[in-house]
Amino acid sequence: MLSKARSQFVRSLHQKKFRQEHGLFLVEGAKSVQEVLASDFRVEQLLATEAFYKENAQLADRQRPQVEIVLPDELTRIGTLETNNAALALARTTENHPLLADPGEMVLILDDIRDPGNLGTILRIADWYGISKVICSETTAEVYNPKVISASKGSFTRVRWFYTDLLTYAQDIPVTIPIYGAFLGGADVHTLAFGGGGGYLIMGNEANGIRPDLEPFVRQKVTIPRYGAAESLNVGIATAVILDNWRRGY
């Protein structure tokens, strides 16, 4: 049975200030915990049901975290998921290292993506399309938010991120590298001839799009034409549509 102190500590990591203070974040559910145990992230503690641990003991031994066997209702009580009958891991956060596009590489830039669920979905989409670097504005949701980790479905272990001032970052991108940006009045994504040499794609805020002072750095505006009556597209879906068309001509 989990001690009161341990339970309180895990619950404290629901909040950003305590994640930053302790350098730890939560990973919940069978799939995500399996992914983080197999990754380069350092898992400090593993709280798991007996069944999960028996099935994944060899994977856990790879990192040798502190292990505690718990009941499913304990996991649900201290975590953020509605139900969790498998495991919860406490993993070490990583340093915020600068990331740049390598020659021919596709990189995402996220400008003020506030919703954690959207950010997690975008990480999963980036992983699907083979994008391993995501540049985030300082106002974009924190990657270590449990909702981001959960929505990414393990993709957070394969996609790297860098939080920075986007204006400064964009100024340093060589003029020969394409910078695409999602706008309402851009070129049709279905007919635009994306170059095959990689580059950057900027996706803006869910409600306001790309901020005006970042717009001048966009070298090719892209839009997803509307054929029906829906008012807008979710930013995650829009990211997937643009990346799919970009990949097609890559």
Q: Using one digit for the tens of pLDDT, what is the confidence trace for 33-89? A: 999 999 999 999 999 999 999 999 999 999 999 999 999 999 999 999 999 999 999
**What pLDDT, on the 0 to 100 scale, is given for residue 214?**
98
Do 112 and 216 reside in the same domain of the chain?
yes
In a domain, 98, yes or no: no
In a domain, 100, yes or no: no
Do 61 and 125 reside in the same domain of the chain?
no
In the predicted structure, residue 171 carries a pLDDT above the cut 80: yes
CA distance 234 to 241: 11
**What SS3 state is found at 155?**
helix
**What pLDDT, on the 0 to 100 scale, is given for residue 195?**
78
Do 115 and 215 reside in the same domain of the chain?
yes
In a domain, 32, yes or no: yes
CA distance 43 to 41: 6
**Residues 6+ away with beta carbon under 8 Å from 210:** 111, 181, 182, 183, 202, 203, 204, 218
Query: Per-residue pLDDT averaged across 92-103, rounded?
Result: 96
Do 82 and 187 reside in the same domain of the chain?
no
In a domain, 73, yes or no: yes
User: Tokens 């992914």 sit at which residue?
Assistant: 35
Among residues 92, 122, 149, which one ends one of the domains?
92
Do 118 and 199 reside in the same domain of the chain?
yes
CA angle 69, 73, 77 (to 5 degrees): 105
In the predicted structure, residue 187 carries a pLDDT above the cut 90: yes
Query: Per-residue pLDDT averaged across 208-214, rounded?
Result: 97
What total of structural domains would you count in the chain?
Answer: 2
Among residues 66, 92, 118, which one ends one of the domains?
92
In the predicted structure, residue 127 carries a pLDDT above the cut 90: yes
CATH code of 182's domain = 3.40.1280.10
In a domain, 22, yes or no: yes
CA distance 88 to 102: 35
CA distance 172 to 162: 15
pTM: 0.95
CATH code of 49's domain = 3.30.1330.30
Do 114 and 236 reside in the same domain of the chain?
yes
In the predicted structure, residue 250 carries a pLDDT above the cut 80: no
Q: Residue 131 is part of which domain span?
A: 106-248
